[in-house]
Amino acid sequence: MLSKVKSMTVVGMDCISIEVETDVSRGMPKFNIVGLGDAAVQESKQRVFSAIRNTKFTFPPNRITVNLAPADIKKTGPSFDLPIAIGILIASEQIPDLTNSEHTILLGELALDGRLRPVSGILPIVSYACKNGITTVFVPKENAKEAALVEGVEVYGIETLKEMVNHLNGKEVQKKERCIPEEELFSQHDKKFPVDFSSIVGQEQAKRALEIAAAGSHNVLMNGSPGSGKTFMAKAYPSILPRMTRKEAFEVSEIYSIAGLLPSDTPLLTQRPYRSVHHTASNVSIVGGGRNPKPGEISLAHRGVLFMDEIAEFPGSVLEVLRQPLEDRKITVSRASGTTEFPAHFSLIAAMNPCPCGYYNVPNSDRECSCSPLQVQKYQKKLSGPLLDRIDLHIDISPVQFEKLQSSQKNESSSEILARVQKARNLQTLRFKNFENIASNSEMGPDEIKQFCVLSEDSSQLLHHAVSQFCLSARSYHRILKVARSIADLELSETVETHHVAEALQYRSKKSEE
C-alpha cells in the first residue's frame, strides 16, 4: 500500500515543502530511503525501526521504499523521522490515513524508545507553512511553544510516537498548544544586563558616541590604550539598545531557530542579540556557510551587535568579508550546490589598540611606546581604508585619570540614556513607516538621505569644506549625514542643524582614502 505524508525542510533561510511517500510491498524485507537525503536522513532507518518496535507496533517484514520528494533537493537533519514512521504505519494499514492530510505537516526526530526529540528550524517552517495553506502541525513537545507563535495554525506538541498514533486513532486526542500573546512574551523576558553605564567612569565622548550609535544603529570603532575601558563600554552597550519590534523579534528568532540556538523555554527572542567574536574565528564561522549552509556570527547578530575586540588581531581575510554585509545588510554564501542569502543587519562595535604594545601617542600616559615606526604603520594598516570607510563613528579613547576614578560623582545610568535612544528610534519608526526595508537611520539610501537630511546653507558649506579637506568619499558623505540625522533625532529636532553636522564630523575618521 502507498501513503503520503507532508513535511518541510530548511535550506539556508528558505523553507521547502517535502512529500514523504511510503510504499510497503511484497518482496524480500528491505528498507530504502531515496530522495537525496544526507547521513542523518539515511540513519533514520535505524531510529524508525527501533521506535516502531519499542512502541509495540509491527515493523512490516516487507520491501519498504520511502521517497522524499522533490528528489533533486538535498534533505538534511533528523526531522523526517516522524513522518517516515507514520507513513510506514499508514502504508502497512496499522493506523488510518491522516484526515486533512493535504493541509497537515509532521516534524520530529525519534529516539529509539519512541520519544520525540526537538529539531531546529521550527519557527520559519511553521511560518512558511501557514502562508501556504497548512492548518495543522505536529511537532515535538519541546518545539510546541515555538511553533505556536505563528497565528492561524493548530499546533500539537507530541511527546512519543504512541501519543501520535493514539491521537490519529481518536483514543487520546492531544490538546492544541496555546498561542502565547505577544505582550506576555515581551514582558516575561526583561533581561538584566551585566554592565550599566553608571559604572563607567569618565569617557563622556565615548559614551555620547555609543548613544548616537544606538539611536541610529551605526557602527563604532574605539581606538585606545589597554585598560582604557573599551571592552567594558562594549559590554554596557546592549543596555541602551531600543526594544525590538515584533517584526525584528521574529526575524532574529527564525535565525536562531535555524541555527538550533533557540531555547525551548524562550520561543521568541525579545532582546537584541550581542555576539562577541574572538580573533581566532574563521571566515565560515563569521559569515556562515558549510556543507549545509548555516548562519554565521554576523547573521546571529542580526538586529543586534557584533563585538570584535582587538579587531586588528583578526586575519585580513576575515576583516575583508565584513565589507559586503556592512554595506548591503545581508551576506550571500555561494557554493557549488547553490546560493544562500542570510540577513546580516547588525551594528559593528570594534575595539583596537593604536599599536602592538598599545601606547603609541596615548595622551596623559607615563608609558612610552616600545614599537618601531614600521610596526606601528603595519599594525594600523591591518584595517583597510574601505573597511574604515564603512564605520560611522571613530573614537579615540584616553586612559581615565586617577582623580576621576576616585570621584564620587554620580554617572548617568543606562535607563536614562535608553529613554533618549527610544524616543529617537520612535521618531525613525514614524519617519520610515511607509518604507518596507528601512527601520533606522543607518539603513537609509541616497534617495532617503536627500528627503530626510536636508541641510541649511551653513551646514552644506561646513560639510563641503570637510569633504574637500579630508578627501572623504561619497560613502563617507552619506554616512556623516546619517549620523547627523541620528544626533538631531536625539534632540527631537525635525531638521538637521549645523551643530549636528559638526558633531557628526568629529566622529569621522580623518584617514584619507587610499
pLDDT at 191 over 60: yes
Question: Which H helix or E strand runs over 460?
Answer: helix 457-469
Question: Which H helix or E strand runs over 247?
Answer: helix 246-258
The arithmetic mean of pLDDT across residues 210-231, rounded, is 93
- Is it true that domain 197-431 has CATH number 3.30.70.340? no
pLDDT at 187 over 70: no
The answer to whether the beta carbons of residues 125 and 107 sit under 8 Å apart is yes
Which of 207, 307, 295 lies closest to 251 in space, CA to CA? 295
Q: Which residue did the predictor score with more confidence, 511 or 195?
A: 195
Return the ∠ at Cα 350 (arms to 509 and 444), rounded to 5°. 65
pLDDT confidence of residue 252: 95
pLDDT confidence of residue 350: 96
pLDDT at 513 over 50: no
Q: Which residue did the predictor score with more confidence, 71 or 182?
A: 71
Residue range(s) in the chain whose domain bears CATH number 3.30.230.10: 2-169
pLDDT confidence of residue 119: 96
pLDDT confidence of residue 512: 40
pLDDT band at 470 (very low <50, low <70, confident <90, very high): confident
CATH of domain 2-169: 3.30.230.10
pLDDT confidence of residue 363: 76
Q: What is the pLDDT of residues 26-85, one digit of tens each?
A: 989 999 999 999 999 999 999 999 999 999 999 999 999 999 999 999 999 999 999 999
Q: What is the pLDDT of residues 369-418, one digit of tens each?
A: 889 999 999 998 899 888 999 999 999 988 877 666 767 677 889 999 99
Task: For the chain, give the number of residues.
Answer: 514
Residue range(s) in the chain whose domain bears CATH number 1.10.8: 444-514
CATH of domain 444-514: 1.10.8
User: CA 318 to CA 279: how far, in whole Å?
Assistant: 9
The arithmetic mean of pLDDT across residues 2-16, rounded, is 93
Using the structure block, give the residue that is written with the C-alpha cell 512502541: 55
pLDDT at 109 over 50: yes
pLDDT at 290 over 90: no
Strands, E assignment, 12-54: 14-25, 30-34
pLDDT confidence of residue 514: 41
Residue range(s) in the chain whose domain bears CATH number 3.40.50.300: 197-431
Q: Which residue did the predictor score with more confidence, 187 or 320?
A: 320
pLDDT band at 292 (very low <50, low <70, confident <90, very high): confident
Q: Which residue did the predictor score with more confidence, 361 or 107?
A: 107
pLDDT band at 334 (very low <50, low <70, confident <90, very high): confident
pLDDT confidence of residue 510: 57
The pTM for the full model equals 0.90
Distances (CA, A) of 508 to 38, 326, 396, 440: 50, 17, 11, 19
Q: What is the pLDDT of residues 475-507, one digit of tens each?
A: 999 999 999 999 999 999 999 999 999 999 999
The answer to whether the beta carbons of residues 71 and 99 sit under 8 Å apart is no
- Mind giving me the DSSP string for 394-421? EEEEPPPPHHHHH--PPPPPHHHHHHHH
- Sequence-distant (6+) residues with CB within 8 A of 60 are 24, 88, 91, 92
